[in-house]
Amino acid sequence: MTWWEGGSTQFQSPFQGQDFRRSGVSSFCSHIIRRFSMAAILDRIVAATRARVAESRRGADLRDLERRAEQHVPRGFRRALAEKSRDGIAVIAELKKASPSKGLIRAEFHPEALARELAASGAAALSVLTDENFFQGSLETLRMASAAVSIPCLRKDFIVDEFQLTEARANSADAVLLIVAALTSPELTGLAQGARTRGLDVLCEVHDGDELQRALDAGCDLIGVNTRDLRTFKVDLQTAFDLASKFPTDIVRVAESGIHAGDDVARLRAAGYDAFLVGESLMRAEFPGAALRELMGVPSEK
């Protein structure tokens, strides 16, 4: 069991919920506890992230971080998706080792090899998890994946502070994820502007119409609809279809989560989505590149 400690508060890793298999009262109680745990997981992650970032910032060599950030030239994450979507299927392939709701997803996790395989199989961009405590990601994973490919990379994490933006570019990210549900409107606007100032694109993640409007108000032009509710972890593709008609025409639209087959991609493209973020189904596949080609309808390599 893994623990993260911040001040006087302890955050228990959600991975302890993998043994809820006993029958009877014990199993029932475990199920109820897990439901409450999942409902609160977003708040727990954000609180843990804020404390961790404050600690990291205090111990950081900001001059060195800014020097490293200057050395990386962002490769145009939004542009890559827009260009690929004009005559093909733009997939953001995600490198994800684990998640709070599913536990360990891929035991054999080699970032450089996975990045090269997915890029060679047609991914327009990569998404790399960097949260350590809940997703078993790291900034090192981001650096390794980004260095292995020419396509742009997204730092996928819970971004709550401008320090993380500089940190992202210093570790070879070309874009960052901003989650509307995790931020106040002033925070969202400030972080989106801070990312642009640093040359980073922003994938702004929403879950409903109100969050979509907040993303638009913050000036975001690359918006993803996550069909997984981060408070319950329930996945429903209908969320993406319900929001599809609410986007202005100049927004690059991304469908996230719950995409497992080519038919899902076809239906979402018909609804108006330009790009698709796919992680779990690729990471569970023995050969992620082959799974990506199948998803995109590309003939398998001989």
Q: What is the pLDDT of residue 13?
A: 45
* Dihedral angle sign, alpha carbons of residues 136, 139, 141, 145: positive
Q: What is the pLDDT of residue 300?
A: 67
Q: What is the pLDDT of residue 101?
A: 79
C-alpha closest to that of 233 among 39, 44, 47: 39
Task: Evaluate whether 249 touches 243 at the Cβ level (below 8 Å).
Answer: no
Helices H, strands E: what count in the chain? 12, 12
Give the least confident one: 25-34, 96-105, 215-224, 267-276: 25-34
Give pairs for 191-197: CB < 8 Å, separation 24+: 191/159, 191/160, 191/162, 191/165, 192/218, 192/219, 192/220, 193/219, 194/162, 194/165, 195/165
The letter for the amino acid at 9 is T
Active site residues: 94, 96, 156, 205, 226, 256-257
Average pLDDT, the chain: 88
Q: What is the pLDDT of residue 218?
A: 98
Report the pLDDT averaged over residues 3-19: 38
Task: Evaluate whether 237 touches 226 at the Cβ level (below 8 Å).
Answer: no
Return the bridge partners of 27, or none: none
Residue 144 has pLDDT above 60, yes or no: yes
Q: What is the pLDDT of residue 20?
A: 33
pTM: 0.86
Task: Evaluate whether 194 touches 245 at the Cβ level (below 8 Å).
Answer: no
* Angstrom distance (rounded) from CA 297 to CA 130: 30
- Domain locations along the chain: 62-296
* Dihedral angle sign, alpha carbons of residues 103, 105, 110, 113: negative
Q: What is the pLDDT of residue 137?
A: 96
Q: What is the pLDDT of residue 229?
A: 78
Q: Which CATH number describes the domain made up of 62-296?
A: 3.20.20.70
Q: What is the pLDDT of residue 10?
A: 38
Report the pLDDT averaged over residues 250-271: 95
Give strand ranges (E) for the chain.
3-6, 9-12, 90-95, 98-99, 103-104, 125-129, 153-156, 175-179, 201-206, 222-226, 252-256, 275-278
